[in-house]
Every structure is written in C-alpha cells, then in structure tokens.
C-alpha cells in the first residue's frame, strides 16, 4: 500500500460515469417500472452507494477512506438507448476517491444488467471512466467529452495472439 501519511489533508472529489445500452423495448420496461425484480433506478443507486463504501475491500491496496458524500444518478438516454450512470464521491483526506467513484458507477451498471437480464441478455455496459477529479497535489482533471457512440475496432484490425506469440499474417489472394 502506498504511504500517504506525508500528504496534506485536502477536500477531494471524483466523478465517474458509465452507460448501459439496451433495446428500446427494454428501456421502456425499465421506465414504466415493470421489471420483475423491482425498482431498477432505486436498487442500482443503492448498490452503487454501498459499493463505493466497500471499495477498499474489493480493490487490493486501496486505502479505506472516510467518505463524506456519495451520489449516484441514473438517467434514461433514448439516444443510446439505455441508461447513463453518474457517480460522485467526496472526502477530506490524504488520497483521492477515484476508485470509489469508478466502483460505484460499475456496480450500479452491473445491478441494472442483473435486473433486466431476464428480458434481454444483450445489454451492454460501456464507457465506464473517470470524468472529473479535484483536490490533492495534481489539482483538477476533467476528461474530454465522451462520444455518443463507442469506438469499436473493425474486425480483423488487431492480430490475435497465441501462446507462441503473434498469429501468423495471412496472405491476401490477388
């Protein structure tokens, strides 16, 4: 574990986001509150909050922190279609809360998946990332705006690796 005892105590904030992409019919079911497992928004929000509080138990070498605030917002986004999760964590301490914010966002997304998987197995969790960090020696970090569509590599762009190294290159027929 990194020794943070010499660092000054400062106010720290971290914000992370994630997206859950689903079919429009599944999103409609969630918005109507007709998912068999119950309230998707409330359950995912509480799961994210609980996860942030237990981050040090999940991530090796992560410091247990006195968290002063956790906010998990989940909003529908018909352009995905799906839901967007925004997790904000605050503390006053010697180290940041980036891992707590990322954990909250991830677990909230996983909870949504768990609650709708009976309706749609193809739900995707995407674009989980740190969007903002404030406090500490490094100051403020703000991520560039996310694109609405994830960047996906084209099939065949990356060579597959085998236990013996890179896959042999295929020759193209004339």
Catalytic one of 28, 71, 77, 114: 114
99: phi then psi, degrees, rounded to nearest 5: -65, -35
- Per the DSSP assignment, residues forming a β-bridge with 19 are 84, 126
- Quick check: is 114 catalytic? yes
Residue 4 and residue 52: Cα distance in Å, rounded?
A: 20
Residue in 132, 95, 98 with CA at minimum distance from that of residue 6: 95
How many distinct helices (H) and strands (E) make up the chain? 4, 7
Q: Which two tokens stand for residue 64?
A: 């247990």
User: Under a CB-based contact definition with an 8 Å cutoff, are residues 124 and 48 in contact?
Assistant: no
Instruction: Give me the active site residues, please.
Output: 114
């Amino acid at each position: 574990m990194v020794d943070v005892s010499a660092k000054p105590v400062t106010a720290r904030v971290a914000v992370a986001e994630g997206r859950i992409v689903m079919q429009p019919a599944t999103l409609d079911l969630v918005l109507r509150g007709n998912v068999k497992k119950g309230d998707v928004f409330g359950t995912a929000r509480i799961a994210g909050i609980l996860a942030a509080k237990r981050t040090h138990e999940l991530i090796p070498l992560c410091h247990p922190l006195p968290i002063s605030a956790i906010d998990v917002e989940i909003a529908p986004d018909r352009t995905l279609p799906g839901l967007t999760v925004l997790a904000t964590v605050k503390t006053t301490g010697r180290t940041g809360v980036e891992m707590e914010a990322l954990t909250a966002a991830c677990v909230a997304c996983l909870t949504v998946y768990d609650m709708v998987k009976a309706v749609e197995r193809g739900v995707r969790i995407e674009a989980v990332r740190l969007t903002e960090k404030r406090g500490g020696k490094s100051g403020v970090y703000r991520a560039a705006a996310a694109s609405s569509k994830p960047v996906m590599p084209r099939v065949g762009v990356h060579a597959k690796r085998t236990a013996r190294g890179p896959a042999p290159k295929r020759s193209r027929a004339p």
